[in-house]
Amino acid sequence: MTEYDYVIAGAGSAGCVLANRLTEDPAIRVLILEAGPRDLNPFIHMPAGVYKVWKDARINWNYTSAPQTELAGRPIPVPRGRVLGGSSSINSMVYLRGHPLDYDRWASDFNLPDWDYAHCLPYFRRSERSERGADPWHGDQGPLGVSIGRSPNVLYDAFVGAGPQSGFGGSTDLNGFTPEGLGRYDSTKWNGRRCSAAVAYLHPAARRPNLTIETGAMVQRVDIAGNRASGLTYRKGGQTIQVHAAREVILCGGSINSPQMLMLSGIGPEDELRAHGIPLRAHLPGVGQNLQDHVDLMLQWHCTKPVTLARLANPLAKLAAGAEWLVKRTGPVASNIWEAGGLIRTNTDVPSPNIQFHFGPVAVDYIGDKIQLKQGFQLHVSQLRQTSRGRLRLVSADPGTAPVIAFDFLTTDHDRREMVEGVKAARHIIDQPAFAPFRGAAIYPDANVRTDAQIMDYVRTVSETEFHPSCTCRMGQDAMAVTGPDLKVHGIENLRVVDASVMPAVISANLNATVMMIAEKAADMILGRAPLAPSRPRFAFDA
């Protein structure tokens, strides 16, 4: 048995941040375990290469949900990164923090005063190296390279221009003063390359002698002595290995793997653990509960002018684009495609945006594992704050068996109504004068889908997850909370969870930026450092 001060399970977004911050002190020894390989696949680092990696079984858990009753009984793909950098190595690189009111609701609704936006913003700023430079909302000295979307495609301009025309408004910085409206997204890219959590945090720390990185290491369980986490057992290369944690075990496996690991270690709902013959260590009924995600669907239109990325279907054009990226780190390969989008309110009852858009200047079909580019453009519609709740369940006590992922999407009238509103809002945007030079006939859904009932049928037929599972080990101080505000697991000493699973409620945006913020904040907690001073600049929505 080998001893470290901290043992981290999972080298995803949170694990990479912690590995870096904890080893800044040369006296602290850290081991980080990752089930997948190193991030050597060259397509990981090409922004437009996302479609070569996001389903690659060599670097992706490729989970599948349980059949979704309200989605025509379909199981839904649930890709999750299984590689250094985790999902930040296979995602679409959108850097969006969510609305400030999301965090204020964490503080008020879940008794988490240290997690309001004023306490979180300094950690967003600490992590960020923004092209925008330093200001009250952004940092320019952090490890994470964040770029402004600048690809010169007229369809992006049309989408942004349709914001004021549609009445939904526009924003030049959705992470800044105006966190609502349509605009260009920031992205985790730097100098034309993906800036994953591994690139930003883990690679620079890998040279430190007090950090050990083990890939191909499948965690089996948290080892517990009495009511204290003493280490981890993992398998690598056919061997079972135990490591001891002198200070803490930290789970950073994400919203699927962290609750699964807790339950396999005897921490979770007593009846479920006993049903699988797992000895109970701590009865925490909230483990695996409260599963939330963003329901997502796509709409497509033909484009009447040859301005889309469909030209890249031509092998010579694709070769030229690849050569430009290799030489200059510019061109279509340097784009993460979803460079524009927005956050809007579809009704007057919501206090902040309830629908998100991702816009791409090409229409995409999937034929098996192949991608077909069409002369069109595509708009994704995502519901941001669902009232439906799912859960994660064990299938067996075998760590190699995937759990049941039961999202239970669209099981409330509220969620179904908002998705219909979202489709109508998307059509309203594309109907604006800004799109007149480019708008052809609708592809999905076609123009005959008009009534609420017809739209809802379309929603059920095509909706999937936006790949933002969260909230399955939520923090709080009530009976269903799994961790406290300090992210320590209730009832077990020296054990924390640091990843998207600790969110008490899903934020109204892509999750990656928030996960890294959570880990930055957790690092100060773990090391006993004074937290950064709270900061709350003015926003456009403030009275």
The DSSP secondary-structure symbol of 351 reads S
**What pLDDT was estimated at residue 412?**
98
pLDDT number for residue 140: 97
The model's confidence at residue 182, banded by pLDDT at 50, 70 and 90, is very high
Determine phi and psi for 246, rounding to 5 degrees: -70, -30
- In one-letter notation, the amino acid at residue 480 is M
Per-residue pLDDT averaged across 287-295, rounded?
98
Tens of pLDDT, residue by residue over 410-434, are: 999 999 999 999 999 999 999 999 9
Q: Are 201 and 17 in contact (CB under 8 A)?
A: yes
> Could you give the CA distance from residue 493 to residue 486 in angstroms, rounded to a whole number?
12
pLDDT at residue 51 is higher than 90:
no
List, for residues 26-47, the tens digit of each pLDDT value. 999 999 999 999 999 999 999 9
* Residue-wise pLDDT tens digits, 303-318: 999 999 999 999 999 9
102, pLDDT greater than 90: yes
Q: Cβ-count burial of 226 within 10 angstroms (0-12 exposed, 13-18 middle, 19+ buried)?
A: exposed
How far apart, in whole angstroms, are the C-alpha atoms of residue 343 and residue 197?
A: 25
Helices (H) and strands (E) in the chain, counts: 14, 28
Give the model's pLDDT for residue 125: 98
Per-residue pLDDT reduced to its tens digit, 487-510: 999 999 999 999 999 999 999 999
In terms of pTM, does the model score above 0.95? yes
**Which residue, among 276, 232, 263, has the nearest Cα to 8 in the 3D structure?**
232
Which token pair is 122? 């300094």
- 13 vs 79: CA distance, rounded Å: 15
Confidence band (pLDDT; 50, 70, 90) for 400?
A: very high
Q: What is the pLDDT of residue 1?
A: 61
Instruction: Flag whether pLDDT at 327 surpasses 70.
Output: yes
Q: 189 is written with which tokens?
A: 């890219």
pLDDT of residue 384: 97
The pLDDT score that the predictor gives to residue 404 is: 98
Question: What is the tens place of the pLDDT at every residue in 128-165?
Answer: 999 999 999 999 999 999 999 999 999 999 999 999 99
As a whole number of angstroms, the distance between CA 424 and CA 426 comes to 5
5 residue type, one letter: D
What's the whole-number mean pLDDT along residues 55-82? Answer: 96
Burial of 131 per CB tally in 10 Å (0-12, 13-18, 19+): middle
The DSSP call for residue 472 is T
The pLDDT of 49-56, averaged and rounded, is 89
Confidence class of residue 110 from pLDDT cuts 50, 70 and 90? Answer: very high
Residues 254-263, mean pLDDT to the nearest whole number: 98
Residue 336 has pLDDT above 80, yes or no: yes
Domains of the chain in sequence order: 150-184+295-383+411-462 (3.30.410.40)
Say which of 45, 203, 380, 468 is annotated catalytic. 468
d(CA 135, CA 272): 49
CA–CA dist 92, 54 (Å, integer): 9
pLDDT in tens, 169-179: 999 999 999 99
**Token output for 50:** 């996302």
Q: Is the pLDDT of residue 267 over 80?
A: yes
| Percentage with pLDDT > 70 across the chain | 100
Which residues, listed in sequence order, are joined to residue 244 by a DSSP beta bridge? 3, 231
Residue 330 predicted with pLDDT over 80: yes
pLDDT digits (tens, 9 = 90+) for 341-388: 999 999 999 999 999 999 999 999 988 778 899 999 999 999 999 999
- Quote the pLDDT of residue 12: 98
Q: Is 468 a catalytic residue?
A: yes
SS3 234: strand
User: Rounded CA gap, 378 and 361, in Å?
Assistant: 7
